[in-house]
Amino acid sequence: MISPKRRQEIIDALRRGTVPQNSLDAFAVGLDGFEGALDDELDKVATGGGVFKAVRGEYGCGKTFFSRWLADRARKRGFATAEVQVSETETPLHRLETVYRRLMERLSTADTPQGAWRNIVDGWFYALEEDVLAEGTVANDDEEALIARTSELLEQRLTKVTDTAPTFSAALRGYRQALAANERATAEGILGWLAGQPNVASAAKRYCGVKGDIDHFGALSFLQGVLVVLRDSGHPGLLLILDEVETIQRVRSDVRDKSLNALRQLIDEVDAGRFPGLYLLITGTPAFFEGPQGIQRLEPLAQRLHVDFQMEARFDNPRAPQIRLPAFNLERLQLVGCKVRDIFQEHADSADRIATLCGDDYIQDLAEAVAGKLGGKIGVAPRIYLKKVTDVLDRIDQHADFNPRADYRLTMTDSEMTAIERQAAAATDVDEIELDL
């Protein structure tokens, strides 16, 4: 049984047609075969290793769900996580400084759903102070000596990072000094600069002796520093998700090539051990991994990610650098619908009515109806199907005389469907076919 708060978060997200952020294991189906390999990889990262993973799947097979399911699993192990949506305008992959900024904006832990950077840094300084006090050489009430010794320990912990990104250490020192001097605005500015934010006040940068903004190469060095801070503050690692990487297929050829090269650089750096404690996960469609506008354009990248998918999916290797998600079938669609119904029933006053009016047979009938509306393309059905299941459950919960068999009529309008869902919905008349004139 999940808590009322978690239940509400799940149902609210499904009601909007989006993927929940937490507790996805409560209604995950078809992912059992990946659990062992992924847990082993998280263990490797927790002991100072680095892992890269590519996830492929057609639209609707659950790539976003899979990545958030893994993130939820990682956070339960103490990891920090960040999900970054790659896009041509907002977060271009070839601009790693932008990717780094989005990472820091979306950094989350089990205690902080988003924007966890400040709590992590403050927790790190607290851990350093605890280590100093444990030495027994500094008294608890000697604040000046405590700050001095903590600064020495900070330098020791950041030795490797200082060699490649001395400004990272300098900014952390400045942040701590500003806090000690009760200069909150300056401290916030320094923390924002460390997180890659542009347009930070020059006074804050002067305070800690840094200049300019983080660039493409500086972003990689700063990521090293973030991993050190995470590890020392009690987090075994960072799971970084780059979602919808296939969008780089739609950009100009020169930008596409730069993006592919940035991806290759990230993979090579992880393999070389430059980012201990980093689990890097990317998601994309099969066309991105196999098509001429995707990774096949860069031969070294294609070689690193190549996996033979000619055999049956049941014989896939979940330890491989690239894994594929199985497409939804009617059985899986019905199963996930039943799980959502069971979650809805928990803590609901209408649990008995839901059990009577929305049994497994009705869930199956609704799954078949939604798939039928989408031309039998079950692979694109899960999002809108779960939205409809939640709608039916809401009506049963709110109206004592509502019977879905008699009172509910399934409708799906263009405005509520995505472009791919609209394409899947079969045209029944020649006048329904849209032509680009």
pLDDT in tens, 218-254: 899 999 999 999 998 889 999 999 998 998 998 899 9
Lowest mean per-residue pLDDT among 21-30, 103-112, 419-428: 419-428
Mean pLDDT along residues 289-311: 91
The C-alpha atoms of residue 139 and residue 73 are separated, in whole angstroms, by 40
In-domain check, residue 3: no
Residue 187: domain span: 117-220
What pLDDT shows up at residue 435? 41
Write down which residue in 267, 292, 324 finishes a domain.
324
pLDDT tens across 348-365, in order?
889 999 999 999 999 999
Q: Are both 128 and 274 inside the same structural domain?
A: no
Share of the chain above pLDDT 90, in %: 58
Please give the tally of structural domains in the chain.
Answer: 3
pLDDT beyond 50 at 434:
no
pLDDT beyond 70 at 58:
yes
Helix H, strand E, coil C: the string for the chain is CCCHHHHHHHHHHHHHCCCCCCCHHHCCCCCHHHHHHHHHHHHHHHCCCEEEEEEECCCCCCHHHHHHHHHHHHHHCCCEEEEEECCCCCCCCCCHHHHHHHHHHCCECCCCCCCCHHHHHHHHHHHHHHHHHHHCCCCCCCHHHHHHHHHHHHHHHCHHHHHHCHHHHHHHHHHHHHHHCCCHHHHHHHHHHHCCCCCCCHHHHHHHCCCCCCCHHHHHHHHHHHHHHHHHCCCCCEEEEEECHHHHHHCCHHHHHHHHHHHHHHHHHHHCCCCCCEEEEEEECHHHHHCCCCHHHCHHHHHHHCCCCCCCHHHCCCCCCEEECCCCCHHHHHHHHHHHHHHHHCCCCCHHHHHHHCCHHHHHHHHHHHHHHCCCCHHHCHHHHHHHHHHHHHHHHHCCCCCHHHHCCCCCCHHHCCHHHHHHCCCCCHHHCCCCC
CATH number at residue 310: 3.40.50.300
Give the number of other Cβ atoms within 10 Å of residue 361's Cβ: 10
Q: Are both 316 and 335 inside the same structural domain?
A: no
Tokens for 431, please give them. 């006048």
In-domain check, residue 371: yes
pLDDT tens across 75-103, in order?
999 999 999 999 888 899 999 999 999 99
What pLDDT shows up at residue 437? 35
Mean pLDDT over all residues of the chain? 89
Q: Are both 244 and 284 inside the same structural domain?
A: yes
In-domain check, residue 337: yes
What pLDDT shows up at residue 326? 82
In-domain check, residue 293: yes
Bridge partners of residue 56, in order along the sequence? 284, 324
What pLDDT shows up at residue 360? 95
Write down which residue in 296, 324, 352 finishes a domain.
324
In-domain check, residue 277: yes
In-domain check, residue 252: yes
Q: Are both 420 and 349 inside the same structural domain?
A: yes
Write down which residue in 324, 345, 361 finishes a domain.
324
Q: Are both 203 and 350 inside the same structural domain?
A: no
Q: Are both 404 and 339 inside the same structural domain?
A: yes
What pLDDT shows up at residue 426? 59
pLDDT tens across 377-400, in order?
887 888 999 999 999 999 999 999
Q: Are both 213 and 261 inside the same structural domain?
A: no
Q: Are both 335 and 412 inside the same structural domain?
A: yes
The C-alpha atoms of residue 257 and residue 262 are separated, in whole angstroms, by 9
In-domain check, residue 437: no
Q: Are both 320 and 377 inside the same structural domain?
A: no
Q: Are both 316 and 334 inside the same structural domain?
A: no
Q: Are both 143 and 121 inside the same structural domain?
A: yes
The predicted model scores a pTM of 0.88
pLDDT tens across 96-134, in order?
999 999 999 999 999 898 889 999 999 888 888 888 888
Would you place residue 53 in the very low, low, confident or very high pLDDT band (cuts 50, 70, 90)?
very high
Q: Are both 301 and 378 inside the same structural domain?
A: no
What pLDDT shows up at residue 402? 95
pLDDT tens across 166-183, in order?
889 889 989 988 988 899
Would you place residue 44 in the very low, low, confident or very high pLDDT band (cuts 50, 70, 90)?
very high
In-domain check, residue 12: no
Q: Which residue has the higher pLDDT, 205 or 380?
A: 205
pLDDT beyond 60 at 436:
no
